Amino acid sequence: MAESLMDIKRRITSTQKTGQITRAMQMVSGAKLSRIEKQSVAYQLYAKKVGDIVRHLTLGNVFKNVPSGSNAADPLSVNNILQVRDVKKTAYIVLTSDRGLVGGYNSNILKAMMDIFRTKHNNDKSKFTIISLGNTGTEFFKARGYDIAYEYRGLPDIPTVEDITPIVKSILQLYQAGTFDEIYLDHNHHVNSLVSRFTNEKLLPLDKPDDVTAEEENIASEYITDPDPETVLSAIVPQYIESLMFGAMMDAKTAEHAASVTAMKSATDNADDLISSLSLHYNRARQAQITTEITEIVGGAAALE
């Protein structure tokens, strides 16, 4: 009985220490979430404005006025970014976390990607490649033999534009070299602290949108480029690509921190429940032990009379 009580006490102590760790991790993730959520919301407004401008320029056929063959050596040049070719291979930029303890955050993304590979490409690995940003996704795809054109690990918890600029340039260089013919951006979109939603957004090439309103057509027809389309687009299009990438990373990191808060809160609550259950078990076992000892004492005293 004494060993049993000792074992229960050890489990209580161990669970208490685990609960302290998960509670601390929940607070850290909560602080990161609060910080990045404000920045992400503010940046989404900027990214939407840039996106609207590029959308209107696309509707106005301004891209068709860019001469071919200019700035061919620059991976960020308009001519290289706007290349439209027959799609032989598709690239998917997949954003996952570098660490665990984020609940179902990574599994939701990876499951959705496997569904895309199966439904769109019939799991033909020659038709697509992966640009993996994050350790979890990189290890997952490597273990299954998928082609990874580019990988990056160790994204900051709160990224900056400077952090993603070299990543964007590397991806565009691969696009310019013809490694793939179109790019999709895949990540978890942060809805609120409890909900995130997987998104699959086309990054390149820039296509004319289908859901066009009459108001947008009027706006697009009024665009005038000065001094010339190439100069204007050389400033806007690279900024648009970087804004989409940075916005996606901010959004994905926000969803990651939210998932971490939820997971650590759940772990802390489970630890508290387990401690309560073990404490009740310990008290009952201790009470039974005391009762047995009292019975033995009374029985011994009666035997001496």
Evaluate whether 190 touches 27 at the Cβ level (below 8 Å): no
Per DSSP, the three-state class of 92 is strand
Give 93-114 as a DSSP string.
Answer: EEE--SSS-STTHHHHHHHHHH
pLDDT attached to residue 251: 87
**Boundaries of CATH 1.10.287.80 in the chain?**
2-22+265-304
* Mean pLDDT of all residues in 180-200: 87
Give the pairing of strands 128-133 and 148-152: parallel
pLDDT attached to residue 185: 92
pLDDT attached to residue 141: 93
Within 13 Å of residue 58, how many CA atoms lie on the same side as its CB?
Answer: 18
Homologous superfamily of domain range 2-22+265-304: ATP synthase, gamma subunit, helix hairpin domain (1.10.287.80)
pLDDT attached to residue 208: 61
Reference 69, options 54, 58, 82; nearest CA is 82
pLDDT one-digit tens code per residue, 172-189: 888 888 888 889 999 998
Class of domain 24-262: alpha beta
pLDDT attached to residue 1: 44
pLDDT one-digit tens code per residue, 214-271: 665 565 566 666 676 666 766 777 778 888 888 888 888 988 888 888 888 888 888 8
pLDDT one-digit tens code per residue, 6-33: 888 888 888 888 888 988 988 888 888 8
Q: Which amino acid is at 183?
A: I
Token pair recorded at residue 124: 């033909």
